[in-house]
A and B are shown apart, each in its own frame.
Chain A
Amino acid sequence: AQSVTQLDSQVPVFEEAPVELRCNYSSSVSVYLFWYVQYPNQGLQLLLKYLSGSTLVESINGFEAEFNKSQTSFHLRKPSVHISDTAEYFCAVRPVGGYQKVTFGTGTKLQVIP
């Protein structure tokens, strides 16, 4: 079984400041790792994913996440946030192989303050 922990339920940050959203996971098998973003009253959009290879992955809108196997973490970072980044962010894992069950964390609400 897998579990995902997002310790911060809400993160307020000023516009153009850096931000880090923390994610830790637990799994007895190898997993893929994901960050999803959810804007108000919308579904989930995949922000970035780690499948294998380089432990640093980047999205097209400036977010990056680093897979740390020893610490079982996959923290999300952005050096300078914009108002449009205000949303809820979910960290998730999925076992490699087998059926495609995704286990999500409880989410972190990023509030960008003008």
Chain B
Amino acid sequence: ETGVTQSPTHLIKTRGQQVTLRCSSQSGHNTVSWYQQALGQGPQFIFQYYREEENGRGNFPPRFSGLQFPNYSSELNVNALELDDSALYLCASSLAGGTGAYNEQFFGPGTRLTVL
């Protein structure tokens, strides 16, 4: 059983560019969540995808968008990059069950994005 993987590990972009980050969920998981962790801060929830649809979003602008594919892997896209987008981007996968059921999230190692 493989864990959550993310690519690339590091990325450098310039302001105004667009970026795509990728996440492969743990085998058997159908839910992926994305988090942004700025330097010296705790992770902030961006959004969550369940069975290829966004089913929850944090306080991030529309230029942050995502996709989930039939194999439950996911992409995070950020348009019109700003300097403040520099952060570690984490994805977490889980198996969502019935209402109220606890399902553990497993985090990937993250992608470090630097915007110059």
Interface residues of A (CB under 8 A from B): 4, 32, 36, 42-46, 49, 51, 90, 92, 96-107
Contact = CB atoms under 8 A, between A and B. Distances in A.
A70 B55 CA distance: 32
Contacts, number: 61
Contact of B41 (A4, A44, A96, A107): A107
Nearest to B108: A43
Given A99-B50, A99-B56, A51 B90 contact: no
Given A43-B107, A43-B108, A44-B90, A102 B100 contact: no
Given A46-B104, A90-B43, A100 B94 contact: yes
A4 B96 CA distance: 24
Interface in B17-44: 31, 33, 35, 40-44
Contacts of B96: 100
A14 B98 CA distance: 45
Contacts of A98: 56
Given A32-B102, A42-B109, A106-B40, 10 more contacts: A44-B43, A44-B90, A46-B104, A96-B102, A100-B33, A100-B56, A101-B48, A102-B43, A102-B45, A104-B35
Contacts of B58: 101
Interface of B: 31, 33, 35, 40-45, 48, 50, 55-56, 58, 90, 92, 94, 96, 99-100, 102-105, 107-110
10 contacts: A36-B107, A43-B109, A99-B50, A99-B56, A100-B103, A101-B45, A102-B35, A102-B45, A107-B40, A107-B42
